Chains A and B, each alone.
Chain A
Amino acid sequence: MKKVEVFGTGCKKCITTQEMIRSEAQQLSIEIELIKVDDPLEIVSRGIMSTPAVMVDGKLMHKGGLPKRQEISQWLKEN
């Protein structure tokens, strides 16, 4: 199961990002572990300054804005 982390301090874009990933995973019927990281200290210690950012299995895929649906499904599908 893929571990997907969404980094953000709680702005609207971060919440939207999280929702997009959840619904995309549901649509593709891929089970994921979706974690929201909102502690600023942890965000920084993971090397992230622009939020929202997305890590899949610990690898940074995206930062500083909303991802595209197409991108999300790519992350979820690739092995």
Chain B
Amino acid sequence: MFEFFTQLADFLAYNLLQLDPQTHLAEAVHFFIEDTTKIFFLLTTLMLLVGFLRSWVSPEKVRQWLDGKPKLLAYFLAVTLGAITPFCSCSSIPLFIAFLSSGIPLGVTMAFLITSPMVNEVAAILFGEAIGWTFTLAYLATGMVTGMVGGALIDLLKVERWVEPFVFQATVSAIDQEELKVSMQRRFYYAWEETSDILKRVWLYVLIGVGLGAGIHGYVPQEWFIAHAGADNLFAVPLAVILAVPLYSNVTGVVPVADVLIAKGLPVGTTLAFIMSTVAISLPELVILRKVLRPQMLVLFVLYLAIAFVLVGYGFNWLF
């Protein structure tokens, strides 16, 4: 389906630049051209489509759908909706307050907030294309199960006292306002705006990611990762999780890096743990959440995610 990009890379690397296909340099350049063109093509078309469809799902509607559902169903709905609804990080505070003060349990709200940044349908499709659909399934399952278990745990621990009290004082009388009438044209514009917005944000990550990947691809021998970070090295998974915390990236930016790490023999579980930690635990997000959550809750949040990702890493290393 994507031979075009291989042919394009063949042409540019071997014919136009006259590189000898046998060399590391040619391999790296070829990889870079093929992957960047393919990724930007996929990203643009998919995001336009997804953005358009998504204009029918708003946080307001999600709240209505979650309202009054039995708990187990609510966790599941929350992570499913979290997976398909992205929201600007600046919306997460009003969203959090509106959910809680309209009676949606803290755990269900947190399940939504945990899964939302982790699962991204664009990344899911890119993973499938770059690494394989089993990896995509593992990725989706990890994001959703981490959210559900996290939410259930938070409800079980009854940590409402770790939410800033002002949150519960919100009045939500006006919350079920009638939906705005949105024209088709507006929905297309919304999709276009979102696509260009994400592209502007991630293009550099993608280039650096693929560039890094290309560098490793052509030069670092496969044995390096197997020798240093193979499945039998018990420290590799926790180390991957910790290393990823200061790294903060949109999930689409880490796809090419993951692709190369796996191709070079880094175990699937370790790679997945690294990706999840990169996208889900981020300092900017913690700063925003601090407005509504007490520090104890933030510590619980980060600890839970870190432990979950380490377990995910070991689990998938063992499975694959």
A48 touching B94, Cβ below 8 Å = yes
Query: Does A76 sit within 8 A of B, measured CB to CB?
Result: no
* Interchain pairs with CB closer than 8 A, number: 77
Q: How far is the CB of B165 from chain A (nearest CB, A)?
A: 12
User: Given A9-B93, A65-B193, A49 and B171 touching (CB < 8 A)?
Assistant: no
Query: Does B189 sit within 8 A of A, measured CB to CB?
Result: yes
Q: How far is the CB of B282 from chain A (nearest CB, A)?
A: 15
B175 touching A40, Cβ below 8 Å = no
User: Given A40-B94, A44-B94, A50 and B170 touching (CB < 8 A)?
Assistant: no
Query: Does A56 sit within 8 A of B, measured CB to CB?
Result: no
Distance of A10 Cα from B91 Cα, bound (Å): 10
Q: Specify which of A43, A60, A65, A66 is in contact with B94 (CB 8 Å cutoff).
A: A43
User: Given A40-B291, A45-B170, A68-B189, A50 and B93 touching (CB < 8 A)?
Assistant: no
Q: How far is the CB of B160 from chain A (nearest CB, A)?
A: 17
Query: Does B215 sit within 8 A of A, measured CB to CB?
Result: no
Q: How many chain B residues have a CB neighbour from A under 8 Å?
A: 32
Query: Does B3 sit within 8 A of A, measured CB to CB?
Result: no
The 0/1 profile, CB within 8 Å of A marked 1, for residues 276-318 of chain B is 0000000000000001100000000000000000000000000
Most buried by B among A14, A40, A61: A40
User: Given A9-B94, A43-B94, A50 and B59 touching (CB < 8 A)?
Assistant: yes
Find chain A residues with CB under 8 A from B291 CB: 40
Q: How far is the CB of B186 from chain A (nearest CB, A)?
A: 8
Interface magnitude class on chain A: 20 to 34
Q: Specify which of B89, B95, B169, B176 is in contact with A11 (CB 8 Å cutoff).
A: B89
A49 touching B180, Cβ below 8 Å = no
Query: Does A3 sit within 8 A of B, measured CB to CB?
Result: no
Query: Does B144 sit within 8 A of A, measured CB to CB?
Result: no
List, sorted by A's number, 18 A–B pairs whose CB atoms are closer than 8 Å.
A13-B88, A40-B93, A40-B94, A41-B170, A44-B172, A45-B170, A45-B171, A45-B172, A47-B174, A48-B94, A49-B63, A49-B98, A50-B60, A50-B91, A51-B88, A64-B58, A65-B190, A65-B193
Q: A47-B175, A64-B91 are in contact. List 12 more A-B contacts (CB 8 A).
A: A40-B93, A40-B291, A41-B166, A41-B170, A49-B63, A49-B91, A50-B60, A50-B94, A60-B177, A62-B180, A65-B88, A65-B190
